[in-house]
Amino acid sequence: MADAALAMEATRTVPPHVPADLVIESDFHSGPGFATDPFGAVAWQTTGPRIFYSPTHYLLPGCWVVTRAEDIRYVLQTPELFSSSGGIGFSALIDEAWDLIPVELDPPHHAPFRALLNPLFSPKEVGKLETGVRLAATSLVDRFADADEVEFIGAFAQPFPVSVFLQLLGLPLEEMPQFLEWEAGLLKSFSLEDRKRAAANIVGYLRNAIKDRRANPGTDLISWATHSQVDGRALTDDEVIGICFLMFIAGLDTVASSLGFHYHYLATHPELQAQLRADRSLIPTAVEEFMRLYSIVINHRRVVQDTEIAGVTLKKGDWMTVPTFNASLDPAEFQDPRTFILDRPANRHVAFSYGPHRCLGSHLARREFVVAMNEIFDRLPTFRLKEGAPFRTVGGAVFGVEELHLVFER
pLDDT for res 7: 38
316's CB contacts (< 8 A; 6+ apart) are 303, 304, 305, 306
Rounded to the nearest 10 degrees, what angle do helices 283-293 and 237-268 cross at?
100
Q: Is the omega angle on the peptide bond into residue 108 within 30 degrees of 0, that is, cis? A: yes
pLDDT for res 285: 97
Please name which of 390, 371, 367, 391 lies closest in space to residue 379, comparing C-alpha atoms: 371
Question: Does residue 191 have a pLDDT over 90?
Answer: no
Tens digits of residue pLDDT in 273-294: 999 999 999 999 999 999 999 9
Pick 184 or 209 by higher pLDDT: 209
pLDDT for res 346: 86
Q: For the domain that residue 280 is a member of, what is the CATH number?
A: 1.10.630.10
Tell me how many domains the chain contains: 1
Please name which of 269, 106, 266, 91 lies closest in space to residue 196, comparing C-alpha atoms: 91
Q: How far apart are CA 226 and CA 243, in angstroms?
A: 9
Quick one: how far is CA 292 from the chain centroid?
13
- DSSP of 203-267, one letter per residue? HHHHHHHHHHHHHS--SSHHHHHHT-EETTEEPPHHHHHHHHHHHHHHHHHHHHHHHHHHHHHHH
Q: How far apart are CA 371 and CA 131, in angstroms?
A: 10
Question: Does residue 67 have a pLDDT over 80?
Answer: yes
Task: Give the burial class of 347: count Cβ atoms within 10 A of its Cβ; 0-12 exposed, 13-18 middle, 19 or more buried.
Answer: middle
Task: For residues 10-22, give the mean pLDDT.
Answer: 84
Q: How far apart are CA 70 and CA 68, in angstroms?
A: 6
- The CA-atom distances, in angstroms, between 39 and each of 148, 293, 390, 400 are 30, 9, 18, 10
Question: Does residue 51 have a pLDDT over 70?
Answer: yes
Question: Does residue 366 have a pLDDT over 70?
Answer: yes
Tens digits of residue pLDDT in 219-278: 999 999 999 999 999 999 999 999 999 998 887 788 999 999 999 999 999 999 999 999
Q: Quick one: three-class SS letters along 371-392?
A: HHHHHHHHHCCCEEECCCCCCE
Question: Does residue 181 have a pLDDT over 50?
Answer: yes
pLDDT for res 402: 95
Whole-angstrom Cα Rg for the chain: 21
Cβ contact 340:361 at 8 Å: no
Distance from the first to the final alpha carbon of the chain = 53
Tens digits of residue pLDDT in 139-177: 999 999 999 999 999 999 999 999 999 999 999 999 999
Domain enclosing residue 279, as ranges:
2-408
- β-bridge pairing 298-303 and 233-234: unpaired
